[in-house]
Amino acid sequence: MLTLHPSGTRPLYAQIIETLQREIADGNLPAGTRLPSSRQLANDLHVSRITVVTAYAELEAVGAIESRGGSGTYVLPPWTPPRPAGRSGETPAALLAPTFPPWQCELVPTVNMEREQVLGQVLRGPLTPDTIGFAWGAGDPRLIPMTEFRRALLNVLDHDGPAALGPEGGTGYPPLRQWLATYLRQNGLDATPDDIVITGGTQQTIALVAATLLQPGDRVITEEPTWPGALEVFAAAGARVIGIPLDEGGMRHDRLVDALEHEQPRLIYTVPTFQNPTGAVTSARRRQALCALAEQYGVPIFEDDHVREVRFGQPIPPPLAAFDRRGDVIHAGGFTKSLIPSLRIGYVVARGPLREALIARKRTVDLFGSALMQRTLATFLESGAVAHHWRRISRIYHRRHTVMLRALEGHFPPGSKWSGVSGGLVLWVRVPEGVSVAALHDAAATAGVGFARGAAFFAKPANQPYLRLNFAAVDESEIDRGIAVLGHLVKEVVAM
Amino acid sequence: MLTLHPSGTRPLYAQIIETLQREIADGNLPAGTRLPSSRQLANDLHVSRITVVTAYAELEAVGAIESRGGSGTYVLPPWTPPRPAGRSGETPAALLAPTFPPWQCELVPTVNMEREQVLGQVLRGPLTPDTIGFAWGAGDPRLIPMTEFRRALLNVLDHDGPAALGPEGGTGYPPLRQWLATYLRQNGLDATPDDIVITGGTQQTIALVAATLLQPGDRVITEEPTWPGALEVFAAAGARVIGIPLDEGGMRHDRLVDALEHEQPRLIYTVPTFQNPTGAVTSARRRQALCALAEQYGVPIFEDDHVREVRFGQPIPPPLAAFDRRGDVIHAGGFTKSLIPSLRIGYVVARGPLREALIARKRTVDLFGSALMQRTLATFLESGAVAHHWRRISRIYHRRHTVMLRALEGHFPPGSKWSGVSGGLVLWVRVPEGVSVAALHDAAATAGVGFARGAAFFAKPANQPYLRLNFAAVDESEIDRGIAVLGHLVKEVVAM
């Protein structure tokens, strides 16, 4: 049934994937079709069985096919909800034949399955008991300064009265904005409390700015790879992402100029400091050039400064916004990655019409913020405890970073690539050619090790030979054990 | 310069407003034009000065003109940020000539000034020291069960460890969904914990559903008047609102059928229980009919069940979703109005593709919720303290409702209209013909009394002779004093 046209340049498993995807798209393999077993197909195509298994694992990861235990592997409809579509508690018959009104069945999801799965996993947190949590995206929750946070919380509850439990609308709690203005000025960014709008975290800030600036069809420049949450926002806004590859200084200047010259982008989204997922730091010179380009081409820049506080000693340039002469940089930060995820507090520096538009948009999406959390955070920050906390986690994460580098060196086969970072929480690791990251992911999960698959960090997820590994939230001994498991699995695939 | 064409059917001040609006729109009065003083224009037009003052106040409320203290009244550009567009701390010269990049100056706001101002005021909370806060939209923060909430919070902090400060993604904290499922079943709504998705409050739920279901140009049916926050969401989505007037049973059936028949709406947004702002309760019969219509025309219904817990003794029908046979009703509730605004927690009952789409959309807009707040709320609810709290506030608000009705009876002039409600937090009051609510609002603010202007509750804000008055959050003695001030001001205008 299936024939391959070996081109010599593409690995066999990739050819199987492409052929099956084409057959499914063309309708030759309609939803529900039972695919040949991996053994059967391997025989038919004269390839090794592991090649077919890898191809099937990839296709299953992107939601194109589904393995149903003993009964075989089936082609899925274009989109299937990951959960049985019916009420729990209903009979299996009802589960098999769910009836939803037509307006529901017509819903077209804007999400990408690969990204969705990675984000779902990333957000479960690192405290899953059976897993070494390299997938998690933030810091080690066990290092949260609980005593100081508890003290700040009680201080607010006991002294601020009912106002502490009310709404905090508009730009947010003034003393919090006051603290942030001072903090930002210390970082080289000239902002007053009035220039700061408190949001529900950086993800919300990205969504607010996208809703304010983007129309369907607009183009957005990002680093490639980049933060999948931003890619989800841009996809939901109907925007097209133009990914610019990175070199040692940040976004490649020639490619950036080319995109600005020919694509008329409406926004540049960048993570200049400890880029997510690569950890790259855009150089001061490039920051200057980026701001000049924004001014020249009239394109605003969103600076996602998500984890500036975690650094390993090397000097880093001031925020991009510090190089901004005209108001082209929208600077965003938050407290999820380097303090407490449950706060749900971020901030954005914006002036003029943009500021007014963001305040209105924030009100539209959730009316107001939590006075309790904003007051507690302000009290905590004013106590000075955060400076000690940031120094402490930087020291501990730096050690874990060293341990992970050593473990990668010891356990990963030749052909793997990574480089150390000067801050942040993650490493970006390239596995040797031919290793299916989706298959590796499933095997690693079975062995109790989680990581974030690289594909999710690209605008067009496909097999990408990368893993994002969080070193910050895992104990040193666990890091070595987890990397050993991963290295062993990678070597197995390479040897096969 | 200005001439009136008295038609006999429209009040004089309304004719002045319309004439000025037309002249501004036609470009005969460009931005920056200084208008004649009210005394001058009154002389020119041979009308009383208060007529011109009223017209100017209305135009100022909708952002068309601006009174600059002693220097006169000026025509504004189509949109002006409510805040001086420049950094605070800069010199006055810089404030007068702010320089923002062109991409900022091109920003087109989707918000409506009248709605924006009312919402801004509504959200400031009722605890402003100098104001009798009839404008506020939720309950009395002084009645929040602080001791029990504090106990729940400490319980979570001290027993749940670092997980309590982590992310709470996906559908939300399972014990909270478990409690809600039981609660909803007690209210006649058959839901399992898996059918419930925790959100960041009902406003976020509305925004998530709108983003999932609506495309620009889609039509949405709402009650008219209705909640301005929902109108802001629909406007931001580029949807057109079809307002259906209310009669004693809910949305007028004939008008609803007519809209369904001719407008192909994509969504019906309704607040069937203690409607905002009228307090109306849709009858059981109408609920049944509404669900049948939704099924017949294939249109989903968003049920905003915002304050079901505050009731004054009369029986109320089960939620609209309890009448739903096919899954056409999206049921949403929350804890802002009847418990604690700072929780920022709401929920939506959804199944199948819609549920999956909402989970994905929620992740896109703010990644995850606060584990701390969700766990604290679950602990508080499981303690049983909420039943006592809801009985207590219902009793107190009922008394305040009675006091407000009596005060209205005593202080408002003939031609005013209102009716008592069987639950909720607000009364909807119609003032006599010819009273400018915008002018009344400014005069009342000067006298230390706040209320929500009725215009904001209509899809097309214009002068509307309504006030929304919160009786729940104001002490009984203050209610009488505040209503006396309002009644006095209304009488003055009527007599003029």
| Closest chain A C-alpha to B135 CA, distance in angstroms | 14
Burial string for A244-277 (b: 16+ CB within 10 Å, else e) reads bebeebbbbbebbeebbeeeebbbbbbbbbbbbb
- Cis peptide bond prior to B225, omega within 30° of 0: yes
Give the tokens for residue A384.
């000075």
Residues of A in contact with B201 (CB under 8 A): 366-367
Side chain identity at residue A164, one-letter code: A
Touching A: B residues 331-350, CB under 8 Å: 336, 340-344
Q: Give the pLDDT confidence score for residue A196 in this predicted structure.
A: 98
Q: B364 and A82 in contact by Cβ < 8 A? A: no
Contact B268, B299 (CB under 8 A): yes
Per-residue model confidence as pLDDT tens digits over A27-42: 888 888 889 888 888 8
**B203 touching A, CB under 8 A?**
yes
Percent of chain A at pLDDT exceeding 70: 91
- A-chain CB neighbours of B169 within 8 Å are 120, 123-124
- Please identify among residues 27-66 of chain B the ones whose CB lies closer than 8 Å to any CB of chain A: none
Tell me which chain B residues have a C-beta less than 8 angstroms from the C-beta of A89. 192
Q: Do A367 and B124 touch (CB under 8 A)?
A: no
CA-based radius of gyration for chain A: 24
Chain B nearest C-alpha distance from A265 (Å): 12
Cα gap A38→A67, rounded to integer Å: 11
CA B264 vs. chain centroid, Å, equals: 26
Chain B, residues 372-401, CB within 8 A of chain A, namely: 372-373
Average of per-residue pLDDT across A334-338: 94
Half-sphere exposure of B1 (CA within 13 A, CB side): 13
Partner-chain residue, chosen from B105, B127, B364, that has the shortest CB–CB distance to A236: B364
**Do residues A387 and B123 lie in contact, with contact meaning Cβ atoms separated by under 8 Å?**
no
CB atoms within 10 A of CB B356: 23
- Residuewise pLDDT in 10s, chain B (496 residues): 566 665 556 677 778 888 888 888 888 888 888 898 888 888 888 887 777 877 887 777 666 788 776 678 888 876 433 333 334 443 333 333 457 888 888 786 666 777 888 888 777 777 677 789 999 999 999 999 999 999 999 999 999 989 899 999 899 999 999 999 999 999 999 999 999 999 999 999 999 999 999 999 999 999 999 999 999 999 999 999 999 999 988 999 999 999 999 999 999 999 999 999 999 999 999 999 999 999 999 999 999 999 999 999 998 999 999 999 889 999 999 999 999 999 999 999 999 899 999 999 999 999 999 999 999 999 999 999 999 999 999 999 999 999 999 999 999 999 999 999 999 999 999 999 889 999 999 999 999 999 999 999 999 877 799 999 999 999 999 999 999 999 999 998 877 6
Nearest to A204 among B336, B366, B371 (CB): B366
* Best mutation target, A87, A143, A362, A367, to test chain B (most B CBs within 10 A): A367
Determine, for residues B365 and A204 on separate chains, whether the beta-carbon distance falls below 8 Å.
yes
Determine the Cα angle at A116 with ends A113 and A118, to 5°: 110
Instruction: Report the residue of chain A nearest B376, measured CA to CA.
Output: A342
Subunit contact B370:A232, Cβ cutoff 8 A: no
Question: Is the confidence at residue A13, as pLDDT, over 90?
Answer: no
Give B144's contacts in chain A (Cβ within 8 Å): 162, 165
Asked if the Cβ–Cβ distance from A211 to B236 is below 8 Å, we say yes
Nearest C-alpha in A relative to B357: A109
What pLDDT is attached to residue B10?
65
Interchain CB distance below 8 Å, B341 and A167: yes
* Nearest residue of chain B to residue A358 (CA atoms): B109
Find chain A residues with C-beta within 8 A of B129's C-beta: none
Closest by CA position to A153, among listed A390, A373, A340, A383: A373
Please answer yes or no on whether B107 and A354 come within 8 Å at the CB atom: yes
A102 lies within 8 A of chain B by CB: yes
Partner residues linked to A224 by β-bridges: A245
The answer for A 282-301 residues in CB contact with B (under 8 A) is 295, 298-300
Return the closest-CA partner of residue A288 out of A328, A248, A243, A348. Answer: A328
Closest-approach residue (CA) in chain B for A161: B142
Mean pLDDT over residues A369-387, rounded? 97
Which of these, A107, A114, A143, A116, lies nearest to A127 by C-alpha position? A143
Asked if A124 reaches chain B (Cβ–Cβ under 8 Å), the answer is yes
Instruction: Please tell me the distance from the alpha carbon of residue A381 to that of residue A343, in angstroms, as a whole number.
Output: 13
Q: How far apart are CA B385 and CA B379, in angstroms?
A: 10
B96 inside 8 A of chain A by CB: no
Parallel, antiparallel, or unpaired: how do β-strands B329-334 and B301-304 relate?
parallel
Residue scoring higher pLDDT (B81 or A190): A190
- Indicate the pairing of strand A346-349 with strand A34-35: unpaired
Checking A315-319 for CB contacts under 8 A at 24+ apart, the result is A316/A273, A316/A281, A316/A422, A316/A423, A317/A272, A317/A273, A317/A281, A317/A282, A317/A283, A317/A284, A317/A287, A318/A187, A318/A188, A318/A189, A318/A284, A318/A287, A319/A184, A319/A187, A319/A188, A319/A189, A319/A272, A319/A273
pLDDT band at A83 (very low <50, low <70, confident <90, very high): very low
- Chain A within 8 Å of B87 (Cβ-Cβ)? yes
Reported as a single tens digit per residue, the pLDDT across A265-282 is 999 999 999 999 999 999
Contact between chains at A142 and B164 (C-beta distance less than 8 A): no
- A55, two tokens: 């191809």
Q: Locate B1 and state its tokens.
A: 């310069």
Contact B364 A233 (CB under 8 A): yes
Least confident segment among A115-119, A304-308, A369-373: A115-119
Question: Which B-chain residues 219-278 have CB contacts (< 8 A) with chain A?
Answer: 229, 232-233, 236
- List the single residue in B with minimal CA-CA distance to A145: B162
**CA-CA distance, B152 to A460, in Å (whole number)?**
45
User: What pLDDT, in 10s, does the model give residues A281-305?
Assistant: 999 999 999 999 999 999 999 999 9
Nearest to B300 among A87, A103, A363 (CB): A103
Residue A90's pLDDT band (cuts 50, 70, 90): very low
Q: Which residue of A has its CA nearest to B301?
A: A103
DSSP assignments along A477-490, one per residue: HHHHHHHHHHHHHH
Nearest to B150 among A123, A157, A361 (CB): A157
